[in-house]
Amino acid sequence: MPTASENLEIKIGVAFTNKNFLKEALTHRSYINENPNWDVPHNERLEFLGDAVLELAVTQNLYGQFPDLAEGELTSIRAALVNYQTLSKIAKEINLDTAIYLSKGGAKETERAKDVIMANAFEALIGAIYLDKGYDVAADFIKKNVLVMTKEITDNKLYKDPKSLLQEIIQEKLKVTPEYKVLKEEGPDHNKIFEVGVYFGDTLSGNGKGFSKQEAEVEAAKNALAKLNGIQ
């Protein structure tokens, strides 16, 4: 029966020549802490490398694909493609979460912390592909898994500030301004989680959670936009 890492190679269509590159990409720092005799380093150096490869490949593609867009809009689209939410979603789609070496404590992290771990591992995987197969293979992997989301992001204007975009749409459609209200606060003061709802008049149209009211408001706006665009 194939191992989780072998299944990952099959899933992404990349067979590593040096399996240690893949093993390192899948090794979270917390796993090393619990397994000090592990035979490869944790993945943070590969993450650093993969981040640069990802940014170059995405920038190169967007520059050619949108010749009429200004630098600011290109930057916003790129940011939407490479943020941790997008990358963690892609990481789960390729089953990276089943192959990562994570400590028992790390497996119990909050969903947001897990998403960051997955996004970082995805960047490390890009770094590993780059070292093992070269830039062209890494860029092709990025094209198939990341750049495929460009149309959804541009069509739905998901690269714009969610609160500003929501206000623009709702003021035009309903002639009201979205209002944000705190629905719930959970956890200790040093690690409080806020849940915020966004209302159009008296109607609750989306809610979101975050470690600050502002972050929760942004998540609420994103969820409301997703409903408006039929994504949810």
- Domains belonging to the chain, first-starting first, are 4-153 (1.10.1520.10), 162-228 (3.30.160.20)
Q: How many angstroms separate the CA atoms of 100 and 215, rounded?
A: 28
Residue 200: beta bridge partners?
203
The reported pTM is: 0.76
Active-site pick, 47, 51, 132, 195: 51
Q: Is 123 a catalytic residue?
A: yes
The predicted structure's pLDDT at residue 107: 65
| Confidence check: pLDDT of 56 > 80 | yes
Q: Is 51 a catalytic residue?
A: yes
Q: How many angstroms separate the CA atoms of 27 and 6, rounded?
A: 15
What does the pLDDT look like over 21-37, one tens digit per residue?
A: 999 999 999 999 899 99
What does the pLDDT look like over 80-103, one tens digit per residue?
A: 899 888 999 999 999 999 999 998
Tell me what the pLDDT averaged over the chain comes to. Answer: 91
Confidence category of residue 145, pLDDT binned at 50, 70, 90 = very high
Confidence category of residue 47, pLDDT binned at 50, 70, 90 = very high
